């Protein structure tokens, strides 16, 4: 029994003779630009809590205690 040899290009799909495009199409770029995503600042301590935290003087400067 013999196994036919396959080229790496055939497993990836059809090949083209021209250069591969590395940029998004206009529709794909528009979809990415208008996609709603989760807020990225959500995990950061909120401003009202920061106002309530005490300031502590130390040898190297001042920092806020986050207990």
**Span 13-23, pLDDT tens digits:** 556 666 777 88
The CA-to-CA distance between both ends of the chain, in Å, stands at 71
Structure confidence at residue 46 (pLDDT): 73
Q: Nearest 5 degrees, angle CA 50-CA 56-CA 58? A: 140
Give the model's confidence band at 55: pLDDT under 50 very low, under 70 low, under 90 confident, else very high. Answer: confident
The answer, as to whether pTM is greater than 0.75, is no
* Low-confidence winner among 26-30, 42-46, 55-59 (lowest mean pLDDT): 42-46
Q: How far apart are CA 32 and CA 11, in angstroms?
A: 28
């Amino acid at each position: 029994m013999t196994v036919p040899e396959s080229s790496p290009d055939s497993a990836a799909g059809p090949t083209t003779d021209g250069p591969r495009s590395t940029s998004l199409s206009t529709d794909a770029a528009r979809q990415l630009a208008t996609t709603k995503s989760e807020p990225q600042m959500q995990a950061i301590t909120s401003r009202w809590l920061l106002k309530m935290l005490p300031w502590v003087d130390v040898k190297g400067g001042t920092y806020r205690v986050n207990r």
